[in-house]
């Protein structure tokens, strides 16, 4: 018993219904056309065979007329068909002289006192050798298939030789063939309809499994769509998994921002508590100062939470060069004692597959960190590459000539809230924010030693070709 997929529904909007109706309709149209064509071909073949049989008798009569001493008196008796001798049997021949004073007519005994009509009088055209074939109404009102031909025997005159026979047997054979053909095509139609139903069921099975996979994720039974899908469905399943991962990343990132906010508020709260215990006279001013700081932190991380939701949006792109150039002008004013410049030897103008605010956030944190530690120079190098999946990647290397960072401490430097040097201003969240944003866009941030012996921060992000 066929278990129809859930996508099957008896309404016009159903994919299964549309496929089934379309397949059934065209199958029936093709079968009907083929049946009509085969029936017509069989009738044509049956008529040709019947005409050939009548031609044999007609040629025998023509031979008798052509070799007789007096064609007008010839009475053939050797045709080998007893039906020519039985009155109104449906098998007839007739020889008619067309010229001379005596237009004698000789007929088979089966015609009795009747005569055959002329096909020429019916307006039927003559074929090869002047022969004609067609249907006439016989002496007993039956339909006859008739062939006739005019022959010239010289001085003996011109004669019209006609042979006709009832089509009852031929029509009976044609009816039998059409009945067998109809039964065969009906069985074939039923088989095709069943095949169409199975094809719809089998063809839509991957969609049903995809639907069940999404349902399992919604119910919490799975985290991803699993299983093997056909080549035309697999990209859809992969994109759905990416969308699910992106949604999870948005939620996780929002949670992270809340954690960051809590982490950022711990220090001001501790200061307030310590000041209230140590010096009550200065408590009011300190509370005001730390309240402003906490308000700024709350605003900052609320904006970060909004950006976390926005960063998961698809179909966004940002020109990289304008963002870098704008940041270079900004940091040139903030750190006038530093030389911050861009190196773009290939003249690239890449597009980042994401939000401009997120790109500014990542570049801003990295450049700010490099300027804080640089002795005098920060170099930003832009390049493009491809990963193992043939994705276009934008790579930005930010090099400084500062003291650098030992390899053992590089992983710790990327941890959220971890500050390796408390003498530098900041909350310790800059690099971790870059890591989070890069991961959200399936990018990476890595730390290494720069050519100037300082620190190199290498940021790889997806690009648009």
Between residues 118 and 77, which one has the greater pLDDT? 118
CATH of the domain at 136: 3.30.450
Q: Which residues does residue 92 pair with via DSSP β-bridges, in sequence order?
A: 164
| Residue 366's pLDDT band (cuts 50, 70, 90) | very high
Whether residue 431 is contained in a domain is answered as yes
Environment class of 165 (CB within 10 Å of its CB; exposed 0-12, middle 13-18, buried 19+): buried
Q: What is the DSSP letter of 116?
A: P
The reported pLDDT for the residue numbered 279 is: 62
Average of per-residue pLDDT across 422-445: 70
Number of domains forming the structure of the chain: 3
| Residue 425's pLDDT band (cuts 50, 70, 90) | very low
pLDDT of 145-180, one tens digit each?
999 998 887 777 788 899 999 988 888 999 999 999
Asked if residue 85 lies in contact with residue 107, where contact means CB atoms within 8 angstroms, the answer is no
Between residues 379 and 2, which one has the greater pLDDT? 379
Which contacts (CB < 8 Å, 24+ apart) does range 276-285 have? none
Whether residue 296 is contained in a domain is answered as yes
The reported pLDDT for the residue numbered 39 is: 92
Domain boundary among 169, 204, 219: 169
Average of per-residue pLDDT across 354-367: 88
Domain boundary among 125, 142, 169: 169
Residues 324, 460 within the same domain: yes
From 16-20, 188-192, 281-285, 394-398, the region with the lowest mean pLDDT: 281-285
Residue 181 pLDDT exceeds 80: yes
Asked if residue 117 lies in contact with residue 148, where contact means CB atoms within 8 angstroms, the answer is no
Residues 427, 329 within the same domain: yes
CA distance linking residue 68 with residue 385, whole number of Å: 103
Range of the domain at 148: 70-169
Whether residue 164 is contained in a domain is answered as yes
| Residue 293's pLDDT band (cuts 50, 70, 90) | confident
Residues 289, 363 within the same domain: no
Residues 299, 371 within the same domain: no
CA distance linking residue 354 with residue 240, whole number of Å: 19
Query: Taking CA 417 as the corner, what is the angle to CA 413 and CA 423, rounded to the nearest 5 degrees?
Result: 75
Task: Quickly tell me which residue has 């006038």 as its tokens.
Answer: 336
| Residue 379's pLDDT band (cuts 50, 70, 90) | very high
Between residues 424 and 30, which one has the greater pLDDT? 30
Task: Compute φ and ψ for 428, nearest 5 degrees.
Answer: 80, 15
Whether residue 24 is contained in a domain is answered as no
The reported pLDDT for the residue numbered 45 is: 93
Single pTM value for the model: 0.48
For residue 193, CA distances in Å to 16, 24, 32, 202, 404 come to 13, 6, 14, 14, 74
Residues 305, 324 within the same domain: no
Residues contacting 171, CB < 8 A, separation 6+? none
The reported pLDDT for the residue numbered 34 is: 93
| Residue 33's pLDDT band (cuts 50, 70, 90) | very high
Average of per-residue pLDDT across 435-456: 87
Residues 330, 299 within the same domain: no
Whether residue 392 is contained in a domain is answered as yes
**How close are the terminal C-alpha atoms of the chain, in Å?**
51
**Mean model confidence pLDDT for the chain:** 80
Between residues 423 and 13, which one has the greater pLDDT? 13
CA distance linking residue 104 with residue 97, whole number of Å: 5
CA distance linking residue 212 with residue 421, whole number of Å: 52
Whether residue 131 is contained in a domain is answered as yes
pLDDT of 221-249, one tens digit each?
677 887 788 887 788 888 888 888 777 77
Between residues 307 and 269, which one has the greater pLDDT? 269
What token pair was written down for 379?
Answer: 């170099």
| Residue 420's pLDDT band (cuts 50, 70, 90) | very low
Average of per-residue pLDDT across 354-382: 89
Residues 296, 432 within the same domain: no
Average of per-residue pLDDT across 437-450: 87
Helix (H) or strand (E) holding 449: strand 444-449
Secondary-structure percent of the chain, ordered helix, strand, coil, rounded to 5? 55, 15, 30
CATH of the domain at 368: 3.30.565.10
Residues 458, 374 within the same domain: yes
Percentage, residues of the chain above pLDDT 90: 17
Domain boundary among 265, 289, 311: 311
Handedness of CA 246, 252, 255, 256 (dihedral sign): negative
Between residues 164 and 283, which one has the greater pLDDT? 164
Average of per-residue pLDDT across 171-195: 91
CA distance linking residue 128 with residue 125, whole number of Å: 10
Residues 276, 330 within the same domain: no
Whether residue 121 is contained in a domain is answered as yes
The reported pLDDT for the residue numbered 127 is: 75
Residues 340, 449 within the same domain: yes
Q: Give the highest mean pLDDT range of 70-74, 399-403, 461-465.
A: 399-403
The reported pLDDT for the residue numbered 4 is: 45
Q: Which residues of 341-354 are buried (b: 16+ CB within 10 A; e: fewer)?
A: eeeeeeeeebbbbb
What token pair was written down for 127?
Answer: 């074929």
- Best CA proximity match to 164, nearest among 48, 43, 46, 55: 55
Residues 380, 425 within the same domain: yes
The reported pLDDT for the residue numbered 418 is: 47
Residues 253, 325 within the same domain: no
Between 356-373 and 283-311, two packed helices, what is the crossing angle to 10 degrees? 130
């Amino acid at each position: 018993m066929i278990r129809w997929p859930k996508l099957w529904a008896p309404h016009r909007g159903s994919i299964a219904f549309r496929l089934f109706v379309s397949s059934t309709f065209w199958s029936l149209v093709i079968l009907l056309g083929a049946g009509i064509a085969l029936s017509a071909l069989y009738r044509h073949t049956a008529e040709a065979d019947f005409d050939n049989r009548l031609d044999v008798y007609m040629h025998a009569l023509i031979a008798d007329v052509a070799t007789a001493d007096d064609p007008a008196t010839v009475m053939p008796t050797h045709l080998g068909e007893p039906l020519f001798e039985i009155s109104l049997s449906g098998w007839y021949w007739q020889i008619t002289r067309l010229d001379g004073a005596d237009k004698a007519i000789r007929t088979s005994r089966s015609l009795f006192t009747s005569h055959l009509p002329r096909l020429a009088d019916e307006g039927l055209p003559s074929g090869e050798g002047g022969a004609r074939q067609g249907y006439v109404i016989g002496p007993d009102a039956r339909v006859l298939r008739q062939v006739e031909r005019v022959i010239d025997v010289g001085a003996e005159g011109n004669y019209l030789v006609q042979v006709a026979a009832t089509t009852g047997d031929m029509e009976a054979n044609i009816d039998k063939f059409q009945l067998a053909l109809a039964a065969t095509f009906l069985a074939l139609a039923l088989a095709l309809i069943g095949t169409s139903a199975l094809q719809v069921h089998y063809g839509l099975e991957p969609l049903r499994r995809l639907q069940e996979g999404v349902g399992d994720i919604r119910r919490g039974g799975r985290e991803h769509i699993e299983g093997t899908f056909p080549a035309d469905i697999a990209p859809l399943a992969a994109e759905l998994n990416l969308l699910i991962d992106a949604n999870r990343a948005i939620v996780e990132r929002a949670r992270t921002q809340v954690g960051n906010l809590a982490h950022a508020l711990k220090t001001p709260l501790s200061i307030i508590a310590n000041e209230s215990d140590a010096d009550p006279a200065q408590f009011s001013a300190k509370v005001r100062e730390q309240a402003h700081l906490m308000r700024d932190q709350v605003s900052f991380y609320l904006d970060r939470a909004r950006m976390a939701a926005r960063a998961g949006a698809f179909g966004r792109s940002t020109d990289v060069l304008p963002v870098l150039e704008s940041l270079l002008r900004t940091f040139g004013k903030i750190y006038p004692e530093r030389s911050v410049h861009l190196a773009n030897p290939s003249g690239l103008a890449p597009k980042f597959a994401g939000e401009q605010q997120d790109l500014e956030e990542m570049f801003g944190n990295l450049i700010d960190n490099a300027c804080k530690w640089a002795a005098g120079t920060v170099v930003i190098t832009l390049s493009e590459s491809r990963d193992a999946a043939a994705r276009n990647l934008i790579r930005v290397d930010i090099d400084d000539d500062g003291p650098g960072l030992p390899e053992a401490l590089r992983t710790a430097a990327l941890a959220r809230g971890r500050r390796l040097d408390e003498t530098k201003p900041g909350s310790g969240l800059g690099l971790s924010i870059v890591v989070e944003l890069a991961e959200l866009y399936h990018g990476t941030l890595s730390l290494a030693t720069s050519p100037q012996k300082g620190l190199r921060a290498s940021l790889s992000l997806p690009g648009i070709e």
